[in-house]
Structure 1
C-alpha cells in the first residue's frame, strides 16, 4: 500500500482538522467553532442534497458523461497498494474515481460481482480504468468507503452534483472521527509554516480569504498579505466559467470563509492549485465575517 503522504497526480491524496478558521485579523474562536459545527451538519460549500439512508445505485448526476457500464470479470481482488482499486479476473484494473484512501485503510470486502461505469475513455498511466463501482445490490463503493471514513472525496472526474452526497457522508464521518478521521484533520490556512510541512500531500485547508488577485492566466485567493510566506490558492482563469456553472463565483470569495482540498505545493509560501469546483466549499453564505 502506498505511504499515505505520497501523491499520484491523478489520484490526489489527503489529511485534515477544523482548527482552521483562525484568520489573523478577525476570526474569533467562538465564531470559528460555530462555523465548524454548522458545517459538520451541512457539509460546507457545495450546496449538498440530502443523503438517502438506504443505498441506491449511482445518485442523480453520476451517470452524466459516463461510458456504458460493464460487468467485471471475476474473481475480483483489491489492489494491495490502493484500496479503491479492484483487479478483475482478466487482470484489468478498475478504480473508484474521485476518492483517496490512506495507508491504514483496510481493504474493503468485495462482493461476488461488480458493475463498472467509466468516466475516462482510456486508462491512466498506471493502467487503471477510472469510474464508478456498484455491486449487484446497488451499493456504490464510493458511498460505503466515505461513510465508513475509509476514504476522502478528491474531486477530479465526476461532476459536482454527483459528489454532493459523498460530501455529506464525509462530514458525518469527520464529525464522528471514525476511520481516517480518528487521526486526520483539516489544517488552518493561517498557519503557513505548518502547511509548508504538508508539501506534496493532499490536504484539507480552511480559512478566510483576505484578498483576491488576478492575472491573464490565474486567479489568486490569498489567505495572508505576503505571497512569499502565506498560503495561496490558485484557479486557472480559463476554469472560471466551469466554477460559475457549478454555482461558485470564485472572484466573489473575497472575505469568505472556505475550505479547499488539494495537494499542497511550495511556491514562496504554501499554495494549492484547484481545477474542479467541488474543491472549494463555502463555510459561510455571504462572505461576511462572523
Structure 2
C-alpha cells in the first residue's frame, strides 16, 4: 500500500503582517455570524476571555481556566499540518477574545466556540485557519455548519494550493489513494454514477459497477435533511460533488455522510485539481 502524499504546508504571515483582519471578517460575511437553523448552533451568551495556551488537537486553554474548541472546523490529522495550525494560533496567546458558545459541553467539559480577537483589528480564529488552508470546515457531530460561510472561505486556499489543499482533493475514483487514508478525515471529489436508495440508508457510488472506488453511505435522517435542501437521487446522479468525512474500509473505501453540509455540488468549479 502506498503512503498518502505528503501535505505541503505554507506558514501564513503572522498577525502583525496580515495588514489587518477586517478582510477576513468581510469574507466571512461580517459580524454577527450567520447561523444555520439548528439547535446545536444556537449561540449562548457572549463573554470575554484570553487564550492562555493550546492543548491537543487545537483545544483552547483559556485564562479563566475553561477549555474550548473552535466550532465548525476539523483539526488536521497529519503532524506537519497540525504543527502549522498550532503555529498560526499561538501568536494570539494573551490577546483578549470575544467568545460565543455553541450548544452544550462535550464529554470532556469543553464548549464549541466562535472566537474573535478584540480591538481595532479583530481576527476570527476559525476563519483565519480555514482561509490559510490549515484546517477544513467540518460540522463534526452537529447536523450542519453553524457558520456556512466558513466553507466558502476554502475556495481561495484550494485554488492557490495552500496548506492542506497542496495536493488537491483526493479523487473519489482513486481507490488506492482513499484506502491509504483509512481512518483519516478526507476531502474527496468525484462524479456520482449511481444512487441506491434503501429503507435504512442511501448509497452514492463513484465508480462503475465492478470497479473499485468510493461509496458514500447516507443514513435515513441525513438523507431526509438533504432532500429538504433539494438534494435527491434525481438531482445528485451524474453531478460532480465534494464530500468530506473519515474514510473507512468495507468492500472498498467508504465515507458515512455525517451531515448535509458534508457534501456539496461543485459543478462549474475548477474541481479535481492536478
Q: TM-score, normalised by structure 2?
A: 0.74
String of CA shifts for 1:112-159, please: whole Å, max 9, x gaps.
22222222212x233321131122245322111111222111123374
Q: By how many angstroms is 1:214 displaced?
A: 1.8
Q: By how many angstroms is 1:64 displaced?
A: 6.3
Is residue 76 of structure 2 the alignment partner of residue 71 of structure 1? no
8 Å CA contact 1:61, 1:159 repeated in 2: no
Gap runs ≥5 in structure 2:
9-24, 77-81, 269-274
String of CA shifts for 1:3-32, please: whole Å, max 9, x gaps.
xx9xxxxxxxxx79xxxxxxxxxxxxxxxx
8 Å CA contact 1:240, 1:250 repeated in 2: no
- 2:198 is matched with 215
- 2:68 is matched with 94
Q: By how many angstroms is 1:279 displaced?
A: 0.9
- 2:178 is matched with 195
Gap runs ≥5 in structure 1:
6-14, 17-50, 286-290
Match among 120, 142, 147 for residue 162 of structure 1: 147
- 1:270 is matched with 253
- 1:244 is matched with 227
- 1:117 is matched with 100
Distance in 2 separating the partners of 1:250 and 1:162: 27
Distance in 2 separating the partners of 1:158 and 1:69: 22
Q: By how many angstroms is 1:204 displaced?
A: 0.8
CA RMSD of aligned residues (A): 2.8
- Comparing 170-179 with 52-61, greater Cα deviation is found at 52-61
Q: Judging by fraction of residues, say which structure has more helix.
A: 2
- 1:104 is matched with 83
- 1:126 is matched with 108
- Comparing 225-234 with 261-270, greater Cα deviation is found at 225-234
Is residue 148 of structure 2 the alignment partner of residue 149 of structure 1? no
8 Å CA contact 2:195, 2:233 repeated in 1: no
Distance in 2 separating the partners of 1:176 and 1:69: 37
Structure 1 counterpart SS, 2:164:
helix
Determine which structure has greater relative contact order: mean sequence separation of CA pairs < 8 Å that are 6+ residues apart, divided by chain length: 1
Q: TM-score, normalised by structure 1?
A: 0.70
String of CA shifts for 1:39-74, please: whole Å, max 9, x gaps.
xxxxxxxxxxxx835873342226964242232444
Q: How many residues align?
A: 233
